[in-house]
Structure 1
Amino acid sequence: MEEVLNILFNPLPNAIMTLLTGLSLLYWIFSMLMGEGFDFGDSGLEFEGADVQDINTDADVDADHPEPSFFSKAMDYINIGKAPLMVLVTLFKFIGWIITLITSMTFDLSSYGWKSVLVLLPIFILTYFLMHFVTIPVVKLYKNVGYTGEEAQEFLGRTGKMKSSIQGQSIGSVEIIINKDVIRLNVQSADGSKIAYDDEVVIVNETENKKFYLVQKAINLNSF
């Protein structure tokens, strides 16, 4: 038992990843105890997590529209928007944790002291690319059980915060919260005006091809 604990918490990268993975485990345990579980859409099961919409908001633009932002492409690569966000976050932590444990034992990271934490950077990069392949069966599972997220018309009129800057015809992303679920949508500025990162916006319409939502700055006390 002592040897197992030593591997889990030594060196520092192992301890960090063990704690992060443990927090996700506690999240799911508390979710189950509180009666919140796995939301599989209309399948009768519930999955309470960070739900992300997957309805004509992918970054598959045609030649008549500008390319989506680098951030949107990066999120699409690991299938953000096609399964609940907390499921994907937990997978990311778990994969990174396993790679960290293997790396620490293979290269004896404990001999590097606190500097061993720097190994997490390449591990996170490797985990990111692995997520593209690991999430494919997860996305298929949610699709097969009928997970479709919220209906498109329910987004109109909702407010959220920008997760990128947009102007003119550029494409960015907005994050909204519905029933404690975090949903990310691809958006454009309704009138072409500049909207900065973290600005609060209102979803006012959709583009004619139904691929993006149109947003404008929300009017509140922070606007003055």
Structure 2
Amino acid sequence: MTEVINILFHPLPNAIMTLLTGLSLVYWLFTMLLGDGFDFGDADVDVDFEGADIQDVESDTDLNAEGEAEPSFLSKAMDFINIGKAPFMVIVTLFKFIGWMITIASSLLFQLGNYGWKSVFILIPIFVLTYFLMHYVTIPVTKLYQKVGYTGEEAHEFLGRIGTMRSTIKGEKLGSAEIIIQNDVIRLNVKSVDGKEIQYGDEVLIVNETQDKKYYYVQKNINLNNF
């Protein structure tokens, strides 16, 4: 038993991954005790990654040669490991578990205990390897959730909401606007509905959306403050 504990918490990378995996175990234990279990119908992240991104993303969209909006790097990265096709916490738990197993194996194979605190740097390549492995590990998981009717995160309804411009748009130029829903700041790709100039900081009303929801049409919101 002492040997097992020593492997789990020594060297430092093992201790870090054991702690992270343990936190996920505690989360699922509380979830089971509260009666939620492995809920196949609820989502843990309430973001529509097709047309919106959380504010922390530095670059919301890229424009291709035709000027059309493309998914952000974060959207592509999350899609690679099937986030949205299975609950977020399930994906995170799998990531921690696989990373934990690789870390334990690496510590035994490469004798990481001899490197002291510097052994923690092994986590960088382990996280990268785990990320790519997750693409394949999550495939059967997503198939399972599809069979039980899981349809992914519920997207927000943005039409009719008021937002604030975070760029200046005019004509066919694409820009971005921010809206706040339940304390979440969400950034949308937007275009002027009539081509008129809308400046940075202007308050806008979302009036329409494209069929693929890659961007939304907005117009300047008229109220007593800016009339």
Fold conserved (TM > 0.5)?
A: yes
1:194 is displaced (CA, Å) by 9.0
SS at structure 2 position matched to 1:129? helix
Q: Which amino acid aligns with 2:119?
A: S
Greater Rg by CA: 2
Residue pair 2:191, 2:216 contacting (<8 A) in 1 also: yes
Q: Distance in 1 between matches of 2:121 and 2:208?
A: 44
Q: Which residue of 2 aligns with 1:3?
A: 3
Which residue of 2 is the match for residue 73 of structure 1?
A: 76
**1:119 equivalent in alignment to 2:122:** yes
- Which of 211, 214, 222 aligns to 1:212? It is 214
**In 2: Cα distance, 1:76 partner to 1:34 partner:** 30
Structure 1 position 129, deviation (Å): 0.6
By how many angstroms is 1:186 displaced?
8.7
Gaps of 5+ in 2: 53-60, 222-227
- Structure 2 counterpart of 1:133, one-letter code: Y
Per-residue deviation at 1:189?
A: 3.0
Q: Report the counterpart of residue 174 of structure 2 in structure 1.
A: 169
Could you say which residue in structure 2 is the equivalent of 1:134? Answer: 137
CA positional deviation for 1:214: 3.5
Which amino acid in the other structure matches residue 120 of structure 2? V
Change (3 A) 1:203 1:22: farther
The answer to whether the 8 A contact 2:49-2:75 is kept is no
Report the residue type matching 2:190 in the other structure.
S
Per the alignment, in what secondary structure is the counterpart of residue 210 of structure 1?
Answer: coil
Shift of 1:108: 0.2
Name the TM-score, length of structure 2 as normaliser. Answer: 0.68
Whichever residue aligns with residue 33 of structure 2, its letter is L
Distance of 1:173 and 1:136 partners within structure 2: 33
Task: Give 1:117 deviation, angstroms.
Answer: 0.3
User: Cα 1:189–1:137, aligned 2, differ >3 Å: closer, same or farther?
Assistant: same
Distance across 2 between alignment mates of 1:54 and 1:40: 20
Paired residues, what number? 198
Residues 152 and 90 (structure 1 numbering): CA distance in 2 closer, same or farther, change over 3 Å?
Answer: closer
Distance in 1 between residues matched to 2:199 and 2:18, nearest whole Å: 42
Aligned mates of 1:140, 1:159 — CA distance in 2: 37
Give me the whole-angstrom Cα distance separating, in 2, the residues matched to 1:158 and 1:34.
35
Cα offset, 1:188, TM superposition: 1.3
Q: Which is richer in helix?
A: 1
2:65 and 2:96 map into 1 onto residues whose CA distance is: 37
User: Tell me, what secondary structure is at the counterpart of 1:39?
Assistant: coil
Q: 1:51 touches 1:149 (CA, 8 Å); kept in 2?
A: no
| Cα 1:156–1:193 shift into 2, 3 Å | same
Whether the 8 Å CA contact 1:13–1:100 is kept in 2: the answer is: yes
